[in-house]
Amino acid sequence: MEIWINPRCSKCRVAIGELDAAGAEYTVRRYLEEPPSAAELEAVLERLHLEPWDITRTDEQAAKELGMKDREAWPRDASARARWISALAEHPVLIQRPIITADDGTTVVGRTEEELAKVLPKS
């Protein structure tokens, strides 16, 4: 299992605490220091069954500078998908966190107890 975190994020710290409490084995990836490539983002999005705009933190300063809330400039459709992925790869601070990829293929944005429960080892 791998978890993409920002150590300053409270949701990431909660997720790590839950993984530790469950005895899960995992690898931490500090994605701001080791940003995912566009190909890695594509793979994670496929596993999440989400689109790049679904995992974009549009209130971040970088998103504001890029104008990502403007739906005309940044449409949320197939024609703009590659642009969104490229922006996430170039500005990893825009990626929602934590993202947890389990060995069985289950992948979640672990911001809620319900999502975290999907990747925790079953006792």
- pLDDT in tens for each of the 123 residues of the chain? 999 999 999 999 999 999 999 999 999 999 999 999 999 999 999 999 999 999 999 999 999 999 999 999 999 999 999 999 999 999 999 999 999 999 899 999 999 999 999 999 876
DSSP secondary structure code for residue 79 in this structure: G
- The residues, ordered by sequence, that sit 6+ positions from 98 with a Cβ below 8 Å of its Cβ are 3, 4, 5, 9, 11, 12, 15, 16, 109, 110, 111
| Number of CB atoms found within 10 A of residue 13's CB | 14
- The residues, ordered by sequence, that sit 6+ positions from 8 with a Cβ below 8 Å of its Cβ are none
**Smallest Cα–Cα separation from 95: which of 84, 104, 107?**
84
Dihedral-angle region of residue 7 (phi above 0 means left; psi in -120 to 50 means alpha; beta otherwise): alpha
- pTM, two decimals, is 0.93
Select which of 9, 28, 43, 93 is catalytic: 9
Question: Is 12 in the active site?
Answer: no
